[in-house]
């Protein structure tokens, strides 16, 4: 077959559902959706989603791989669990959304500038380094991720909350230098590395 034929045939390849079942956490639940729509209607951030969960499930079944994986939608999930509680078939919708987001990220298809993705990355790197979150480093990093000027503006807007947290001793202002992390940092890092290797092998991600 010529290249054009292959390319055309590729459009109609419909194994995305199987791909999701194999690689996305809780992906095997997607086929259980009966399209009642109660998840979409129950989502407090619903109006902000381009494709509500119910539609995402249908798009997966319709094989619209690129549209799903490049979507901002599943990054909107705030884990309120309203959908899971109400789903008549008990689909773990929140977990599937996070699973899809993670899968899209690992494939490098997730929208690069999505703020949730950027925050998640910062959080993970911060946590993985010492086994415990360094709060001052994380929040300052978050404020300044779009440059110095916006960082100052954000920090200024949040100053009352910050001062309140300092007074209540919920935030250590010297965390940059005094943050200790866990006892066996190297052990934790080795463990995470090993887990990553296993996942990569199982799901066929390039190492």
Partner 1 sequence: MADVVATHETIVVVGGGISGMTAAVEAAETGKNVILLERAPSLGGRVSQLYKYFPKLCHPTCGMEINLRRLRGNKRIKVLTQAEVRKIEGHAGDYKLSVTLHPRYVNDNCTACGECGQAVSAEIPNPFDYGMSRMKAAYLPSLMAYPQRYVIDPSILGTADAEKAKAACKYGAIDLDMKPETITLSAGAVVWATGWRPYDAAKIQPYGYDRFANVITSVEFERLSDPRGPTAGRIVRPSDGKEAKNVAFIQCAGSRDRNHLKHCSRICCMASLKQTTYMREHFGDEAQSTIYYIDIRAIDRFEDFYQKVQADPAVRFLKSKVANITEDEATGDVILHGVDTEGYHRYDNRHDLCVLAVGMEPSVDVRSIADVRVDASGFIELGATDGGIFGAGCAANALDVNRSVQSATASVLRAVQVVNRVAKAEG
- Residues in the chain, how many? 207
184 is an interface residue for partner 1 by CB under 8 A:
no
Does position 48 interact with partner 1 (CB under 8 A)? The reply is no
Write the DSSP symbol of residue 64: -
CB 76 to partner 1: min, Å: 14
Question: How far is it, in rounded angstroms, from Cα 196 to Cα 2?
Answer: 38
Asked whether position 51 contacts partner 1 by CB under 8 A, the answer is: yes
**Which residue has tokens 């947290």?**
165
Asked if residue 36 binds partner 1 (CB under 8 A), the reply is yes
Region of residue 77 (left: phi > 0; alpha: psi -120 to 50; beta: else): beta
Q: Rounded CA gap, 117 and 72, in Å?
A: 10
Q: Which of 34, 152, 157, 163 binds partner 1 (CB under 8 A)?
A: 34
Pattern of binders to partner 1 over 82-101, x per CB under 8 A? ---xx-xxx-----------
CB distance 114 to 106 below 8 Å: no
- CB of 98 vs partner 1, minimal distance in Å: 21
Q: Which residues contribute to the site for partner 1 (CB under 8 A)?
A: 34-38, 40-42, 46-47, 51-52, 54-55, 85-86, 88-90
């Amino acid at each position: 077959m010529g290249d054009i034929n292959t390319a055309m045939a590729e459009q109609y390849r419909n194994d995305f559902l199987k791909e999701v079942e194999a690689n996305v956490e809780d992906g095997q639940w997607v086929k259980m959706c009966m399209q009642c729509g109660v998840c979409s209607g129950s989502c407090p951030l619903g109006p902000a989603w381009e494709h509500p969960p119910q539609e995402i499930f249908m798009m997966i079944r319709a094989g619209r791989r690129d549209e799903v994986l490049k979507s901002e939608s599943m990054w909107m999930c705030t884990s309120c669990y309203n959908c899971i509680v109400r789903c008549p078939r008990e689909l773990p919708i929140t977990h599937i959304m996070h699973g899809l987001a993670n899968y899209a990220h690992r494939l490098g298809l997730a929208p690069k500038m999505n703020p949730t993705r950027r925050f998640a990355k910062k959080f993970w790197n911060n946590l993985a380094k010492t086994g415990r979150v360094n709060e001052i480093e994380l929040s300052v990093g978050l404020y300044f991720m779009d440059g110095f000027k916006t960082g100052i503006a954000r920090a200024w807007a949040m100053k009352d909350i910050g001062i309140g947290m300092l007074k209540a001793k919920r935030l250590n202002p010297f965390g940059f230098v005094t943050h200790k992390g866990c006892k066996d940092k190297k052990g934790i890092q080795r463990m995470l590395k090993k887990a990553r290797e296993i996942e990569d092998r199982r799901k066929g991600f390039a190492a």
